[in-house]
Amino acid sequence: MPAFLRSIATALPDERISRAAWAGIADRITPPEVDRAVLGRLAERSGIEERGCAAAGAGAEFYPSPADGPPPGTAERMALWSRTARILSARAASGALERAGIDSSRITYVITASCTGFESPGIDAHLVEALGLPRTCRRLNVGFMGCHAAVNALAAARDAVLADPGVTALVCCAEVSSAHFHRSRRLDQLVANTLFADGAAAAVVSAEPAPADAPPAGTILASHGVLIPDSADEMRWDVGNHGFEMTLGARVPDILREHVGAWVRGALGEHGIDPADVGGWAIHPGGPRVIDAVAQALQLPEAATRASRGVLGSCGNMSSATLLAILDRLAGAGVPRPWVGLAFGPGLAGEMIVVR
């Protein structure tokens, strides 16, 4: 019995900012000694035209300029994450249930993912309350794994369905990256400020296919993961006194270019799939250079990266929610399967999902 990816739905904050609006925020929160031309180049090269930014709705006092006061502490940032993640997760999960044609009472397993905040009871318990899910459903939170956590969550859902065909799993990824803008001179933190965005995405996974009048997203054939050697310090995500702190090594695209090709070809070969046979690619847009590196490693045509670049441009890098958003775009465009989703995070780790 296969594990069907029955539906995907996304949710973005009401607070949306353009590239120009981001330039104003970046100018306000960045130390004065940082060349503003650098900020402009980073924004231009990001490929992001618009993104969700809950912090923008919190007002300028949330991220004051260095002259106006200290940056928010971790507790204040967690409060912003909690408010926003609860709203976005409920919207995305409701949309996924509606698209799947499944009543909330049928959910037996809730799997959530977020790396931008912590609290307990968490988003999983909130969804039980907000959506009227059974209070007896199992709950699992995939925490702090980073941008590839959607694959880990979907893999857990698939495993549960294959172990028990009676399982109907709701997967939800919710990220509030704007809770972690940093007042920093470090280039990698300036890059992180520029790239990351807020959003949520949810999916329903079950042994039962979608109804005939709803196009199914396919079946989750497999997932694969890899820890790339000698790369642990190239990408890190740590808890600091002023929010979570991202470390992004300049070598990340080069490392991916070197290692991704052999890993992906080997994993797909286990299922008799050649990269040339893949109908749709969902490459997590850690940034334009990451997309370029993966495409070069796999010798993909420009068209294969269109969905990833489109989501990056209109939504930014929403961490774990982004991969599901790209898969949703492939489904909406009627892109033929199989699809391959690839995402990368601290470790340096790669995660892959194959949808047939």
Beta bridge partners of 235: 248
**DSSP per residue over 176-225, as a string?**
EGGGG------HHHHHHHHHB-EEEEEEEEESSPPPTTS----BEEEEEE
Distances from the Cα of 27 to the Cα of 21, 75, 193, 269, angstroms: 10, 24, 12, 48
CA pseudo-torsion sign 258, 348, 316, 32: negative
Specify whether 147 is catalytic.
Answer: yes
Give the helix, strand, coil percentages of the chain, each rounded to 5: 40, 25, 35
Write the CB contacts of 287 (distance below 8 Å, at least 6 apart in sequence). 46, 47, 191, 195, 312, 317
DSSP state of 104: G
Q: Determine the residue type at 212.
A: A
Catalytic residue among 147, 172, 173, 315: 147
d(CA 193, CA 51): 12
Helix (H) or strand (E) holding 238: strand 235-240
Catalogue the active-site residues.
147
